[in-house]
Amino acid sequence: MKKMVLLLVLFIYSFSFAQDNYKYVIVPKKFDFFKEENKYNLNEMTKSFFEKEGFQVVYDTDAFPIDLAENRCSALYIKVIEQSNMLFTKIAFELKDCQNKLVLASKQGESRSKEYEKAYNESFREALISMRGLLNFKTTVITTTKEVSVVASEEKINTANVVNENQLFAIPTSLGYKLVNGIPETIFVIHKTSVDSVFIAKKGLLTGVLIKKSNSWFFEYYEGDKLFSEKVEVKF
């Protein structure tokens, strides 16, 4: 009987995550000290700067991407502080997380120009440049490979070592974890509770709990008045 040995290199998962989980920057469409959106093109200047620093930038009035809508803590939020007087136009930036904690503050940008547009452009640019290279939330890519030997014959195929396609992998976030598959796609967003074996869990439009029972994890949720329990294979 002929046997054929195939050596397959399977990429189990390849995913990326930002250090401290900051993937996005949210920029106001209109700054508090102006009555118009994108006055003097300053909002667009701010957006362009953070894009060049490697972030995906979204205006606060835009529809958020699905992963951002599910996890607002994957973003930094921009606040611009104006402290101008008769002699100077002064601008400073604050970057805060989803819990309103300060992550980074710029140096104060100043301009002596009496022409408003020039003064704001100069002070904004100086404040932004002071943060260049300080936003070390670079994307780290992790790729894991596994060699799987499959013995094939005319009668049967030994699939004992084939990777489980339902396996999920936990990526830490500031509030808990994202559970991703091998593509990778985010399947669950889970938040910590006071009990280590219980998480508040969201899967698409479903909200429930992820609970550990007998060394296995289960996603439990209600649809109407009916309780459902779904086994989840996850590697933390």
pLDDT digits (tens, 9 = 90+) for 8-29: 333 333 333 333 568 899 999 9
Task: Please give the Cα distance from 98 to 72 (Å, whole number).
Answer: 6
Instruction: Return left, alpha or beta for 101; rule: phi > 0 is left, psi -120 to 50 is alpha, else beta.
Output: beta
Q: According to CATH, where is 3.40.50 located in the chain?
A: 17-129
Selecting from 3.30.420, 2.60.40, 2.40.128, 3.40.50, what CATH number does the domain 17-129 have?
A: 3.40.50
Task: Please give the Cα distance from 225 to 208 (Å, whole number).
Answer: 13
| Distance separating the N- and C-terminal Cα atoms of the chain | 43
Mean local confidence (pLDDT), 106-112 = 92
pLDDT digits (tens, 9 = 90+) for 172-192: 888 889 998 877 788 999 999
pLDDT at 136: 64
